[in-house]
């Protein structure tokens, strides 16, 4: 966005910098009203032809009646997951996560530890004896995925049959993994769940 549009028209309803783009120019004006209704703040940083970042901060009152912050409908789930060990898997030491993937992983770690009371760690291999769940916060390369789920010489699953969650950015990635690798992993006795971005 140009600086002029940001300064003069960013939150004005039915205003768009480029009238030929899809939409009607209501998005940020509606978001601004919602943020203002919560006495929050919104900050937009944009560089033309580079991208835009929007940061929103809200001050929400604490919920009444519960001191632990766990919604009632999640109590049973939380009781089962408390103290379980969630292990985020990486590919190797040289792989660098993109910023959105790193943010997603930080958010998931926060929910797992603060809401669910889980222990969280990170590993490049599925070799943690006390792991209860393994999670890829982005789809791994196909050869890496299959290599880390081979059986031992005794015919046992290399990581003890611990469930594996694979988080994908979009439904195309989910489809690719489900159609190309899920069957092989299931045949090895692996519990695999492939999910689109939460």
* Domains of the chain and CATH, by start: 3-57 (3.30.565.10), 72-196 (3.40.50)
- Residue recorded with tokens 């919560």: 38
The pLDDT value recorded for residue 119 is: 93
Q: Does the pLDDT of residue 65 top 80, yes or no?
A: no
Better pLDDT: 50 or 161: 50
CB 56 within 8 A of CB 42: yes
Dist. CA 139–CA 97, nearest whole Å: 11
- Band of the pLDDT at 63, cuts 50, 70, 90? low
Amino acid 85: pLDDT = 95
Measured CA to CA, the distance from residue 57 to residue 70 in angstroms comes to 22
Q: Chain-wide mean pLDDT for the chain?
A: 78
pTM of the model: 0.58
Give whole-number Cα distances, 132 to 51, 70, 106, 127, in Å.
Answer: 39, 21, 19, 11
């Amino acid at each position: 966005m140009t600086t002029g549009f940001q300064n003069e028209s960013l939150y004005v309803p039915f205003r768009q910098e480029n009238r030929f783009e899809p939409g009607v120019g209501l998005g940020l004006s509606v978001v601004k009203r919602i943020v203002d209704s919560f006495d929050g703040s919104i900050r937009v940083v944009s560089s033309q032809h580079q991208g835009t970042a929007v940061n929103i901060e809200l001050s929400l009152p604490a919920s009444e009646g519960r001191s632990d912050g766990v919604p009632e409908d999640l109590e049973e789930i939380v009781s089962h997951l408390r103290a379980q060990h969630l292990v985020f898997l990486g590919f190797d030491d040289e792989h660098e996560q993109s910023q959105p993937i790193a943010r997603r992983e930080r958010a998931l770690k926060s929910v797992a530890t603060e809401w669910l009371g889980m222990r969280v760690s990170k590993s490049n291999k599925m070799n943690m004896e006390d792991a209860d769940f393994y999670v890829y916060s982005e789809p791994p390369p196909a050869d890496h995925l299959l290599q880390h789920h081979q059986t031992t010489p005794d015919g046992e699953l290399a990581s003890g049959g611990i469930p594996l969650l694979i988080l994908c950015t979009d439904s195309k990635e989910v489809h690719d993994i489900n159609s190309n690798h899920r069957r092989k992993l299931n045949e090895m006795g692996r519990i695999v769940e492939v999910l689109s971005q939460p």
